[in-house]
Structure 1
Amino acid sequence: MNNMESPEYMRMSLAAAMTLGFKEGRFYRGATLPCVNLLLTYDEGCVGACSYCGLSRKREGDYPEKSFIRVSWPTYETDDIVDKMLEKKDKLKRVCISMVTNKKAVHDTIDVTERIRAKTNLPISLLITPTLLSREDLVNFKKSGAEMIGVAVDAVTPELFDRHRGKGIKGPHRWEKYWDVTGQALEIFGEDMVGVHLIVGLGETEREMAKTIQKVKDMGARTHLFSFFPEEGSKLEKHSQPPAGQFRRMQFVRFLVDECFSTEGEFVYDENDRVVAFGLNEDELNLLTDLGTPFMTSGCPDEKGEVACNRPYGDSMPGPDIRSFPFWPKKEDVEKIRTELETY
């Protein structure tokens, strides 16, 4: 037992620790992170058993030392973190508090949210664990100062969800509960104030992913898309990333649906359920591809509507094969993206 537990302590992404000055370092290609990503921490950890997650109870090691999204999440005193946010406020545009599946997490999420709200004006997102939550909890989250909610559904079919997060892996999570809570969060926080996390590469087809992105849009939420990125020590540590072409097409699908350029019903699929046409003419396709925006990280926005939670290199290694761009892609990036879009 180390007693460095929430709410008095929080884990923080390495990127956020660098942004706040707790850690030294610099980002590949000059990326910046304007969102402070925080994670609740407990000696007993998370009771989830998700196949792809570094925090899974089935992964060996002590919880406070487990990596998450392939990087370390160092632990700091919550009050010190808030003080650093004030010190670095000109660099920051949002803070996100992530729950884990632990019975203490509901109360502690409210506690930490109230501490941050009392001292800063930063917009606060909560990445919630529906398994633990009632409608009243969501109301209390809003009262405490949160204004956006994230729900990590991750897998896009009931079968895949069960295999990777539920009964198939002896985990506590249930598909219906996640979508029920997503709907409740939309009722309480409002349209476009809920982001649904989906992971490309857990065994779904492109058609299944596109249909789920459209479902999220129809509910009034937005999709935050990730490329599967294997975590050492997880059940899926030897599972490959999805092909770049698959991820690029799903990024483009997300952009078109969320920004109302196309609907899923306008897409054309081949015999393997891969998207071969997006409901656009060639000029429209080229214009939107050249923008680069569809291939940037999708996440909670700042007050101007631009992505604040850009998670630099959260789903790929820093290097030439960036999956979710944390900055505007340059001309040479777009040329590579265009080739990947057309690669099957």
Structure 2
Amino acid sequence: MNNMESPEYMRMSLAAAMTLGFKEGRFYRGATLPCVNLLLTYDEGCVGACSYCGLSRKREGDYPEKSFIRVSWPTYETDDIVDKMLEKKDKLKRVCISMVTNKKAVHDTIDVTERIRAKTNLPISLLITPTLLSREDLVNFKKSGAEMIGVAVDAVTPELFDSHRGKGIKGPHRWEKYWEVTGQALEIFGENMVGVHLIVGLGETEREMAKTIQKVKDMGARTHLFSFFPEEGSKLEKHPQPPAGQFRRMQFVRFLVDECFSTEGEFVYDENDRVVAFGLNEEELNLLTDLGTPFMTSGCPDEKGEVACNRPYGDSMPGPDIRSFPFWPKKEDLEKIRRELETY
């Protein structure tokens, strides 16, 4: 027992620790992170058993030392973190507090949110664990100062959710509960104030992913898309990343649906349920591709509506094969993206 537990302590992404000056380092290609990503921490850890997650109870090692999204999440005193946010406020546009599946997390999420709200004006997102929550909890989250909610559904069919997160892996999470809480969060926080996380590459078809992105849009939420990126020590550590072409098409689908350029019903699929047409003419396709925006990280926005939670290299290694761009893609990036979009 190290007693460095929430709410007095929080884990922080390595990227956020660099942004706040707790750690030294530089980002590949000059990327910046304007969102502080925090994670509740407990000696007993998370009771989830998700197949792809570094925090799974089934992964060997002490919880405070477990990596998450393939990087370390160092632990700091919560009050020190808030003080650093004040010091670096000109660099910051949002803070996100992530729950884990631990019964103490509901109370502690409110505690940490109130501490941050008391001292800063930063917009606060909560990445919640629906398994633990009632409608009243969501109301209390809003009262404490949070203004956006994230729900990591991740897998896009009931069968895949069950096999990666639920009964199929002896985990506590249930598909119906996640969508129920997503709907409640929308009622309480409002349209476009809920982001649903979906992971490309957990065994779904492109049609299944596109239909789920449309479902999220129809509910009034937005999709935050990730490329599967295997975590060492997780059950899926040997599972490959999805092909670049598949991820690029799903990024483009998300952009078209969320920004109301197309609906899922306008897409054309081949015999393997891969998207072969997006409901656009060639001029529209080229124009929207050249924006670069569809292939940037999708996440909670800043006050101007631009993505604040850009998670630099959260779903790919720094290098030539960036999946979610944390900055505007350059001309050579877009040329590569166009080739990938057409690769099957």
Q: TM-score, normalised by structure 1?
A: 1.00
How far did 1:51 drift?
Answer: 0.0
In 2, the alpha carbon distance for the partners of 1:289 and 1:222 equals 20
**SS of residue matched to 2:59:** coil
How far did 1:58 drift?
Answer: 0.1
Q: Deviations over 1:187-229 (max 9, x none)?
A: 0000000000000000000000000000000000000000000
How far did 1:177 drift?
Answer: 0.0
In 2, the alpha carbon distance for the partners of 1:338 and 1:32 equals 25
How far did 1:155 drift?
Answer: 0.1
In 2, the alpha carbon distance for the partners of 1:45 and 1:291 equals 42
How far did 1:90 drift?
Answer: 0.0
**SS of residue matched to 1:276:** strand
How far did 1:79 drift?
Answer: 0.0
In 2, the alpha carbon distance for the partners of 1:244 and 1:155 equals 18
Q: Deviations over 1:74-110 (max 9, x none)?
A: 0000000000000000000000000000000000000
In 2, the alpha carbon distance for the partners of 1:257 and 1:244 equals 20
How far did 1:33 drift?
Answer: 0.1
How far did 1:167 drift?
Answer: 0.1
How far did 1:185 drift?
Answer: 0.0
How far did 1:115 drift?
Answer: 0.0
In 1, the alpha carbon distance for the partners of 2:192 and 2:242 equals 28
How far did 1:326 drift?
Answer: 0.1
How far did 1:40 drift?
Answer: 0.0
Output the aligned Cα RMSD: 0.1
Q: TM-score, normalised by structure 2?
A: 1.00
Q: Deviations over 1:40-62 (max 9, x none)?
A: 00000000000000000000000
**SS of residue matched to 2:318:** coil
How far did 1:293 drift?
Answer: 0.4
In 2, the alpha carbon distance for the partners of 1:184 and 1:198 equals 19
Structure 1: state its 5+ residue gaps: none
**SS of residue matched to 1:195:** strand
In 2, the alpha carbon distance for the partners of 1:83 and 1:264 equals 45
In 1, the alpha carbon distance for the partners of 2:258 and 2:131 equals 26
How far did 1:34 drift?
Answer: 0.0
Indicate the residue corresponding to 1:79 in structure 2.
79
In 2, the alpha carbon distance for the partners of 1:191 and 1:166 equals 28
In 1, the alpha carbon distance for the partners of 2:116 and 2:276 equals 46
In 2, the alpha carbon distance for the partners of 1:120 and 1:281 equals 46
How far did 1:334 drift?
Answer: 0.1
Q: Deviations over 1:9-58 (max 9, x none)?
A: 00000000000000000000000000000000000000000000000000
In 2, the alpha carbon distance for the partners of 1:118 and 1:67 equals 30
In 2, the alpha carbon distance for the partners of 1:309 and 1:274 equals 29
Indicate the residue corresponding to 1:268 in structure 2.
268
**SS of residue matched to 1:306:** coil
How far did 1:162 drift?
Answer: 0.0
Moved over 2 A (4+): none
**SS of residue matched to 1:125:** strand
Indicate the residue corresponding to 2:9 in structure 1.
9
In 2, the alpha carbon distance for the partners of 1:274 and 1:31 equals 32
Q: Deviations over 1:288-316 (max 9, x none)?
A: 00110000000000000000000000000
In 1, the alpha carbon distance for the partners of 2:193 and 2:215 equals 16
Aligned-pair identity (%): 98
How far did 1:122 drift?
Answer: 0.0
How far did 1:234 drift?
Answer: 0.1
In 1, the alpha carbon distance for the partners of 2:291 and 2:194 equals 25
How far did 1:325 drift?
Answer: 0.1
In 1, the alpha carbon distance for the partners of 2:343 and 2:230 equals 22
In 1, the alpha carbon distance for the partners of 2:13 and 2:244 equals 25
How far did 1:262 drift?
Answer: 0.1
**SS of residue matched to 1:46:** coil
In 2, the alpha carbon distance for the partners of 1:206 and 1:192 equals 24
How far did 1:274 drift?
Answer: 0.1
How far did 1:112 drift?
Answer: 0.0
In 2, the alpha carbon distance for the partners of 1:260 and 1:288 equals 12
**SS of residue matched to 2:38:** strand
**SS of residue matched to 2:223:** strand
Count of matched residue pairs: 344
Q: Does 1:319 align with 2:323?
A: no
In 2, the alpha carbon distance for the partners of 1:136 and 1:275 equals 41
How far did 1:176 drift?
Answer: 0.0
**SS of residue matched to 2:261:** coil
How far did 1:146 drift?
Answer: 0.0
**SS of residue matched to 2:195:** strand
In 2, the alpha carbon distance for the partners of 1:134 and 1:199 equals 25
How far did 1:329 drift?
Answer: 0.1
**SS of residue matched to 1:234:** coil
**SS of residue matched to 1:215:** helix
